[in-house]
Amino acid sequence: MVRAQVYRVDRNDPDPRAVSHAAEVIRRGGLVAFPTETVYGLGADALNPGAVERVFKAKGRPPDNPLIIHVASMEELYTIGRDIDWRAEELAKRFWPGPLTLVVKKSPIVPKITVAGLDTAAVRMPRHKVALRLIEESERPIAAPSANKSGRPSPTLAEHVVADLGDEVDLVLDSGPTDIGVESTVLDITSEKPVILRPGGVSREEIEAVVGVVEVHPSALGVLPHGEDAPRSPGMKYRHYAPAAKLVVVEGELEEVRHAVQELIDLLRRRGIRVGVLGSEGYSYRADVLRDLGSRSNPGGAARLLFRYLREMDDEGVEVIVAEGWRDEKGIALAIKNRLRKASGGVVLEAEQLIKALRTSPTGVYIEVMGT
């Protein structure tokens, strides 16, 4: 396999030649990985079914998981969508370019494969000069999920893209680390009351300031309700954002969480397991690998580091990652909670109950964590 070409481009003044070359790749049906303010995206012509199929194959992405369509102007929203109402217009005026994806009724020009057979389309305008210029130069809306193998932590550096998709993508535009570190907020505005399908870089509170009361879909807390089969947004249905290591999330009052996390680490290490910890605020654990997401009063900083640290744990050969859970659901903290729960595949333990179980049935805890 031929490795992808990687072009280093300045985020504020991208080389026109590099962007022009990448745009030509898009126009001829190729795949280009490019930076956005959230994570790196794997881009293809959203209106070319063959190109979109390559995206699904490159990622190993389930065919019922719809893609987000990236645009560079408000006019394109009316091309991709139909029956655009005042809420979409006001939200786009307020948050575009930016990390808000709007789910609208789709136009007939959008191929079924791009939207996974749904009658809706997810659309956003990224706030990154490289991304915007690529879309403009391509003269195509660009379908772009995160540029990683399906289910893996999303890429916040071009190196992550190359590690996952170096043989699958034609070209990578590298402009360094992304700003936000987690994906866009996905908001469904096709029903009477808007619904957040995936939390991200725009908060519920910010959206409600524009359109009033907004509901939060249960999947935004990390779980798709039983019986709901068709995901309406990326990241709803499957174990997602996950490292190769097993990830266990411990939730509860922070002091109890830290106590439970250390006891769980001790149990696993006694049984020969290499353990990593995803902690916060400089708290020191006795573990094989420790990564600190920083102050809980700065969830934006934690979001920027989250996926990078999950990947680093894999690079260091960690078998189990134990993460301090995030209870806060305001602002981008809800996105951190969502990503951790989704990455764990549902292995979320309450600290108080975990402490009791560790003292009464440590073997049972070990079996629950390791799945054996």
- The pairing of strands 100-106 and 185-188 is parallel
Contact 84, 104 (CB under 8 A): yes
- The pairing of strands 100-106 and 81-82 is antiparallel
Contact 9, 18 (CB under 8 A): yes
CATH superfamily of 5-221: DHBP synthase (3.90.870.10)
Distance (Å, rounded) from C-alpha 329 to C-alpha 183?
A: 16
Contact 218, 309 (CB under 8 A): no
Give the largest Cα separation in the chain, rounded: 65
> In this structure, how many other beta carbons lie within 10 angstroms of the beta carbon of residue 76?
18
Among 85, 71, 67, which Cα is nearest to 190's? 85
Of the listed ranges 93-97, 123-127, 214-218, 237-241, the one predicted with least confidence: 237-241
Among 44, 5, 34, 39, which Cα is nearest to 130's? 34
- What is the DSSP annotation of 71-104? -SSHHHHHHHEES--HHHHHHHHHH-SSSEEEEE
pLDDT mean over 343-370: 94
Contact 332, 299 (CB under 8 A): yes
| Model pLDDT, residue 49 | 98
- Which residues fall within 8 angstroms of residue 362, CB to CB, at 6 or more apart? 267
Provide the percentage of residues in the chain whose pLDDT is more than 90.
89
pLDDT mean over 310-337: 95
Distance (Å, rounded) from C-alpha 90 to C-alpha 95?
A: 9
- What is the DSSP annotation of 25-70? HHHTT--EEEE-SSSEEEEEETT-HHHHHHHHHHHT--TTSPPEEE
What's the whole-model pTM score? Answer: 0.93
Provide the percentage of residues in the chain whose pLDDT is more than 70.
94
| Tens digits of residue pLDDT in 193-210 | 999 999 999 999 999 999
Distance (Å, rounded) from C-alpha 15 to C-alpha 134?
A: 11
pLDDT mean over 109-118: 97
Write down the architecture of domain 246-370 according to CATH: 3-Layer(aba) Sandwich (3.40)
Contact 123, 208 (CB under 8 A): no
Any idea where the domains of the chain sit in the sequence?
A: 5-221, 246-370
